[in-house]
Structure 1
Amino acid sequence: MRPLVLLDVDGVLNPIGRRPPGYRRYRCVVEGVTYVVSLDPRHGRRLLGLAEATGAELVWATTWEEHANDWIAPRIGLPSLPVVAVNADTLPVSGHGEMFKTPAVAAYAGLRPFVWFDDQVWAEDEEYLRVHQGVGDFLLVHVDPAHGLTSDHLGMAKEWLTLTGFSQGS
């Protein structure tokens, strides 16, 4: 089974707060609302490299949903990606402290191994995924929303995918 690399946008690809060096600011209009995002154009190349090196499939796991393909992907050099439906208004939450996206991620990933880059994954999310039947192996990578995705995060993902044998290239 081809592993997944799940990507959040806000706090991961779009750091919150001061714009780090190398990031560019963009205005995006989504359903009539203007958002300002800061994106590092090098992220696309790095994420594609991770996917190629490990045989993983990149997937959006963000409240931007399909809008990430319109507004984020082209600005960082990613193709259109599959999307986990994570609309906070329609997702059931079990009430055990996990983030609203976690049940949708579990359902989407199923038994496929996955790495999930998000700034809001915590111990409750890990516990939910560990005890949820029908979920394969996973690595949650908490990203500091003030700094966004770093080479260290990508290295952790590559190492986990490679050393655990989930990588098709291993």
Structure 2
Amino acid sequence: MTKRPLVLLDVDGVLNPVRRHSLWLRHHECVLDGQTYRILLNARHGRKLAALARHTGAELAWATTWEQHANVEIGPRIGLPQLPVIKVNSDPGSRAGEHFKTRHVAEYVARRPFVWFDDNLAAPDWQYLQDHPGVDEFLLVDVDPRTGLTDAHLAQARAWLADRARPGLDGAGAPSG
């Protein structure tokens, strides 16, 4: 099994902020299951996320209620290829106050280090992941849904991932030897 790190992407609030605050954001309309959604996307995000993955050796994956629709409606509009999708819509309940996506993420990561960009995570999510036996190192990047993903968020992720790639560290981030 690979220890290649993951970068997990939410859509609403992260790639699709709740308000237009930048000229880089463009309106798009998507029709999903007969319902029209108006979204805001920054086409530069795809290039920046791809660069983050390339420079850190990470794999991008969707962690969004858009699930496979993200590969059809979001990825192509921002220049991302087809990405793996974490199925998160099957169990909307919470067990310990965590977001309903958190349990699905914990199962998916399979001890791989990961960064998760989301606008809906809090202390119960961190605690759930910390206590889950299938989760090792992770960084939760709290994105303000009013502004969405920023260069500061990407820099935070890049620094954290680069720190994990240093020679002499094992998969848990402790010095080996």
Q: Determine if the TM-score, normalized by the shorter chain, exceeds 0.5.
A: yes
Are the counterparts in 2 of residues 3 and 166 from structure 1 also a CA contact under 8 Å? no
Within the candidate set 86, 106, 109, 1:84 is matched to 86
Distance 2:156 2:34 in 1: 38
Distance 2:15 2:28 in 1: 13
How many residue pairs match? The answer is 165
Are the counterparts in 1 of residues 56 and 165 from structure 2 also a CA contact under 8 Å? no
- Relative contact order, CA 8 A, sep 6+: which one is greater? 1
Q: Which moved more, 1:3-12 or 1:14-23?
A: 14-23
Gaps of 5+ in 2: 168-177
Gaps of 5+ in 1: none
Moved over 4 A (4+): none
Distance 1:78 1:56 in 2: 14
Q: Give the CA deviation at 1:95.
A: 2.3
Alignment partner, residue 64 of structure 1? 66
Q: Give the CA deviation at 1:19.
A: 4.5
Are the counterparts in 2 of residues 98 and 125 from structure 1 also a CA contact under 8 Å? yes
Alignment partner, residue 54 of structure 2? 52
TM-score (structure 1 length as normaliser) = 0.93
Q: Give the CA deviation at 1:93.
A: 3.9
Alignment partner, residue 130 of structure 1? 130
Residues 45 and 28 of structure 1: CA distance in aligned 2, closer, same or farther (over 3 Å): same
Are the counterparts in 2 of residues 111 and 135 from structure 1 also a CA contact under 8 Å? yes
Percent identity for Structure 1 against Structure 2: 58
Are the counterparts in 1 of residues 7 and 60 from structure 2 also a CA contact under 8 Å? yes
Are the counterparts in 1 of residues 63 and 86 from structure 2 also a CA contact under 8 Å? yes
Give the secondary-structure state (helix, strand or coil) at the position aligned to 1:69: helix
Residues 102 and 113 of structure 1: CA distance in aligned 2, closer, same or farther (over 3 Å): same
Distance 1:163 1:13 in 2: 25
Quick one: which amino acid aligns to residue 83 of structure 1? V
Alignment partner, residue 24 of structure 1? 26
Quick one: which amino acid aligns to residue 14 of structure 1? N
TM-score (structure 2 length as normaliser) = 0.90
Are the counterparts in 1 of residues 13 and 143 from structure 2 also a CA contact under 8 Å? yes
Give the secondary-structure state (helix, strand or coil) at the position aligned to 1:47: helix
Q: Give the CA deviation at 1:94.
A: 4.6
For the pair shown, which has the larger CA radius of gyration, 1 or 2?
Answer: 2
